[in-house]
Amino acid sequence: MTTTHIGQPVSRVDGRAKVTGDARYAAEFNVPGLVYGHVVSSDVARGTITGIDVSAALSVPGVLEVFTHENTPGLPWFDRSYRDEVAPVGSPFRPLYDDEIEFSGQPIALVVAESFELARHAAALVRVKYARLPHRTDLELERRAAYQPEHRMPLPAPRGDAEAAFAAAPVRVDAEYRVPAEHHNPMESFGATVVREDDGTLTVYDKTQGVQNVHGYLCRVFGYAPEDLRVVSPFVGGAFGAGLRPQYHVFLAVLAARALERSVRVSMTRQQMFTFGHRPATWQRLRLGASADGRLQALLHEAVAETSRFEDFTEAVVHWSGMHYRCDHVAFDHRLAQLDVYTPMDMRAPGASWGVYALECAMDELAVQTGLDPVELRLRNYAERDQNVDKPFSSKELRACYRQAAERFGWARRDPRPRSMRAGDALIGWGMAGGVWEAMQETATARAMLMADGSLTVSSATADIGTGTYTIMAQIATETLGLPIERVTAQLGDSTLSAAPIEGGSWTAASVGTAVKDACTRVRARLVDLARRLDGSPLAGARPDDVMLADGHLHAGDGRSVAITDVMRRSGVGTIDEEATANPSRTRDAYGLYSHSAIFAEVQVDEALGTVQVTRVVSAVAGGRILNPKTAGSQVMGSIVGGIGMALHEESVLDHAVGRFMTHNLADYHIPVHADVHDIEVIFVDERDDVVNPLGAKGLGEIGIVGVAAAIANAVYHATGRRVRELPITLDKLL
C-alpha cells in the first residue's frame, strides 16, 4: 500500500485560520499594558541633525518617552553586532546611533505613548533642525563613478574574445535597458510587538522571513542571552524578500521595551514602507553578435546597479546570460554606483528579474533582425551545459516548456509582422521569453514528534510567507508516516525551534522539506522496530523495508497490519521524538542546478491612448517534482502578476531635488489590480531530478516571475513596432 499525499492538490492547512481571522500577525498580538511607538523620519537625504526638540511631544498627556540619538547610549560600536545573516559587505545601518543622516526617511526618533493615535500625533510635534549636505540619488549621473566592489559576487569567467567576435558578427544587437527601483509592498506592513515577560525576558512577535536571523541580530545588538529573547512569526502577510533582513522597526521596539520595561508595539505606516530596502535601479547594456542564421557568436552583458554609501549590495544580474544560451565568446561586467539611499535588498528573483528581462528582450531584437521566429532562435542557441561552470545540468526540460506553452498559447498562428494583428481598434501583440532560476538547497533541521494517540507534530524555525510551507511540511510528514493529514500539525516561525535558513531563494521546500522527511523517516524506523518487537506482532518476521505505513497503520506485504496507536500503547512508549539535519549532497557540485520556464504573453494596445492590457499569459515551468500543484500554481500565478507589475506599473520614483521617493503610497506606486489581470494559465512540465535533493523539488517562488516582463515587452513591440527599453512601459512611452 502506498500513500499519494505528495503531488496532490491539497488545500492549505492554515487556510481556515487565515480566512476566519484566527491567524494572528506580528502587530495583532495584544497584552495588558501594551504601549505604542511611532517613528519620526528624516526630511533630508544627507546631512546631520543640529537640533531636535521633543518638548512639545513629551508635554502631551499619555506620551511616555521620545527616543533619539541623544538618549540611547550604550549601543555597540562594532559592525559585527549589527550584521545579520544576509547583510552585504559594509557597515550596517544603526538606528538612532548618531546625528548623521544617510538617506531620506531615516528613523531619527521614536515616540512612545499609551495609544497608536497619540504616538502618531505627538510624533508630528517633534521639531528637527538639519545641516544639509549635497546628496546624489540619480543612477544615470553616477554611472561614470561606478566601481567593482572588492568583495563582489564573483562574475562568471569570460570565454573567448567577445569584443572581436562581436565586431566581426554579420548581425549585431547593441541595446541599453533601464529598469527602476521597486518596493516590495506586501499587504502586511512591517510591525513588531515586543512582550516583556514578568521575569524580564522578551517575546518578540515580528514580521520576518527569518526568526532566527532576527533573534541573533537582537541578541548581539542589545546583549541578551539567547534564552532571554524569543522571536515568533507564525504568519506573514507577504514579504517577497523585504523580510530577509531585520528592519528598523524591530530594533526600535526592543529598544523601547528594554528602556521602559513595558510591552511595546511599533508598526510602520505604508509611507514608511518606502524608507528601507528596495529592488535596485539598474542600467544594462546587451551586445549580441550572431551569424545570419541566428547562431550566437558573441554575447556581452554589463550592468550598473545602485547601492547605498554604507553597504555594497550586489545581485547576480549578468550571470544568467552566460549559461542560458550556447555561445563561445562571452564577457560580463557588473559595477555599483553609490547613492544616498538605504541599501537595496533582495526582491523576488533578485538579479534574474532584471538580468533575464534585458537578455530576453535583446534576443527578441535579434530574432527580428534575423527574421527568425523567437522560439526557433532560442532553440538554435539552446545550451546543453551550464557554460559558466562547464557542467551538465542536473535536469533541463526547457525545450518541453517552449513546446507545451507555445501549443497551449496558439503561437503557430502568430503573424510575425509588427502591427499586423488587431482586434477592432486595438493592436494585438504576442511575445515570449524564457526564464531561469537557481535550484538551491540550504542546511536545515526539523523535528518530528509522534504521540501515543497517533498524532504527529513536525517543526522547524522556517517561515511561511504565503507560499504554503505549513501545507508542504504536513504533506511530507503524512506521506512518510502514513497518517491522515488531519492528524499532522506543522509548527514554524519560532526561534526556539530547530535551526532553519531564512525563507528565501526558493529553497525552503528543498531544504526544510528534506529535513522534515529525514526526521519522519527516523520516526518511521523506530516505529517499525517497536512493531516488530511486540509479542505476537502481526509484523513479526517482516523486513523493515517491506513494511508500509498508510491510514494510521503499519502493513506487511501479505496483508497483516497493526495500528500505530496500538504499537505505541503496547510498547509503553508515549512519544517518539526525532530531529534530523539535512545538508546539500556533494553530488550537486558536479551539476548546474536550475529551474526553467517559457512565458508567452498577449497584449492589447489602444493605439490612440497608448494603454496596454495583458490579456493572456501562458507559462510552462520545469521545476522538478511538484509537491503540491495547487499551492505551486498559486505561487506561479502570483509571480506572473508581479511580472505584469514590473512590465507596466511598478516604479519607485525619486525626486532627485530632495532625494526622496515620491511614490510612497499605493495610490502613487502602481501595482496590478483585478482589472489588470486576465487569463493566466500555468503548466508544470514533467521533470525528474535525482540530483537536486532527495525530494526532487526545485522551488517555484521565483522562477514564475523571471522572464514575464520580457515576454510582455516583446509583445508590446510586436503590437506597436515600437521597442521600449525602459520599464515600466507606460502610455507616454508609446504615444
Catalytic residues: 702
DSSP 369-414: HHT--HHHHHHHTB-SEETTTTEEBS---HHHHHHHHHHHHTGGG-
Q: How far apart are CA 331 and CA 166, in angstroms?
A: 11
Q: Using an 8 Å Cβ cutoff, are 356 and 435 in contact?
A: yes
| Contact predicate 681/408, CB 8 Å | yes
Give the amino acid at 393. Answer: F
Distance between CA atoms of residues 692 and 594, nearest Å: 9
In which element (H, E) is residue 264 found?
Answer: strand 264-267
Angstrom distance (rounded) from CA 236 to CA 273: 15
Bridge partners (DSSP) listed for residue 304 = 283, 335
Q: Is cis: bond before 728, omega within 30 of 0?
A: yes
Q: Find the distance separating the first CA and the last CA of the chain, reported in whole Å.
A: 64
Nearest Cα to 281, choosing from 725, 648, 651?
Answer: 651
Backbone angles phi, psi at 177, to 5 degrees: -125, 135
- Would you call 152 exposed, middle or buried from its count of C-beta atoms within 10 A (0-12, 13-18, 19+)? middle
Question: CA 488, 493, 498, 500 torsion: positive or negative?
Answer: positive
Helix residue ranges, H only, 124-161: 139-142
Residue with cell 497490519: 561
At 561 the three-state DSSP class reads: strand
∠ at Cα 457 (455, 462), nearest 5°?
160
Residues 477 and 598: beta-carbon distance below 8 Å: no
Copy the grid coordinates of residue 559.
496483508
| Residue 173 contacts residue 287 (beta carbons within 8 Å) | yes
Q: What is the rounded CA–CA span in Å between residue 357 and residue 463?
A: 29
CA dihedral in degrees (661, 247, 310, 39; nearest 10)? 60
Q: What is the 3-state secondary structure (H, E, C) of 94-115?
A: CCCCCCEECCCCCEEEEEEECC
- Which of 194, 187, 251, 192 minimizes the C-alpha distance to 219? 251
Rounded to whole angstroms, the Cα distance separating 573 from 576 reads 7
Q: What is the amino acid identity at position 202?
A: L
Residue 167: helix, strand or coil by DSSP? helix
597: which strand partners? 435, 621
Locus of grid cell 539535519: 581
Q: Residue 321: which H helix or E strand, with range? A: helix 321-324
Distance CA 631, CA 642 (A): 17
413: phi then psi, degrees, rounded to nearest 5: -90, 5
d(CA 75, CA 217): 13
Residues whose CB is less than 8 angstroms from the CB of residue 338 and which lie 6 or more positions away in sequence, other chains included = 136, 142, 145, 306, 307, 308, 309
H helices of 507-628, where?
A: 508-533, 564-571
- Cα angle 327-379-701, degrees, rounded to a multiple of 5: 90
Between CA 293 and CA 170 the distance in angstroms is 10
- Rounded to the nearest 10°, the torsion over CA 319, 320, 321, 326 is 120
In whole angstroms, what is the distance from residue 642 CA to residue 183 CA? 12
